[in-house]
Amino acid sequence: MVIREADRGIGQSIPRGRVVDLTHVLLPGKEQYTLEVSRRNERHDPSGDIMSAVYMWSHVGTHVEVPLHFYRDGKDTAQLPLDVFMGPAILLDFRHKEVNEAITLDEVRAVGDIQVGEHVILWQGREHQYRTEASHQRPYITEEAVAWLLEDRKIKLLGTDSSGFEVRGVSHHPNHTLFFARDTAVLECLRNLGELRSQHFYLIALPLPVEGLDACPVRALAIDPGE
């Protein structure tokens, strides 16, 4: 059997632990980025099969973004290896940061022992802003910190419980440029990070493998080894 590059990582061993759901429940008609669900046929009895038609934006809810989001020739959700979306992760607590305040390289290095290849999750304490007018009010991570995470720590995914990760007040998208040039992914709008008992855990956040798709809602899960 020929294994595609996008299937690499499928043989990973998933550790034992508590399963913590990190995903916002989607509410059709109430999301900032459109989600509509309609019936393709009607059910007239208590039982019987139905089918639904779903229309949604690719960035609705808890979602991953991949290189095609920023680069014309970037990889889509079907082309990145599975180990981009699942694997060991670390939670970095930056809940004390204010809106538009920088998360610096020194702070990133000080708040946790990031292992090479770990997924990095920024806990910004913003999940309560989801689906509100304040949804984009958040701190940001500096370009210097992002470059270190990618080049020194070799991370493949950066996650956050806020709506984004880009440097505020600039128009040239430095963090997008760095991340998506390296075939890495971004995971946004997480929740329940406070339920994790361990700083290091196992992350699963798999998108649908769709050709031409720049981002996709995911069911994000943490396998938490903490007792």
pLDDT in tens, 191-225: 999 999 999 999 999 999 999 999 999 999 999 99
What distances in angstroms separate CA 172 from CA 2, 69, 70, 215, one per listed residue? 40, 15, 12, 20
Confidence of residue 40 (pLDDT cuts 50, 70, 90): confident
Domain boundaries, the chain: 5-25+61-224
| Pair 18, 201: CB distance under 8 Å | no
pLDDT in tens, 161-192: 999 999 998 989 999 999 999 999 999 999 99
Domain 5-25+61-224 has CATH 3.50.30.50: yes
Find residue 37's DSSP bridge partners: 54
Q: What are phi and psi of 21, to 5 degrees?
A: -80, 120
118-133: average pLDDT: 97
pLDDT in tens, 62-108: 999 999 999 999 999 999 999 999 999 999 999 999 999 999 999 99
Q: Nearest CA to 40 among 53, 25, 56, 27?
A: 53
In this prediction the pTM is 0.93
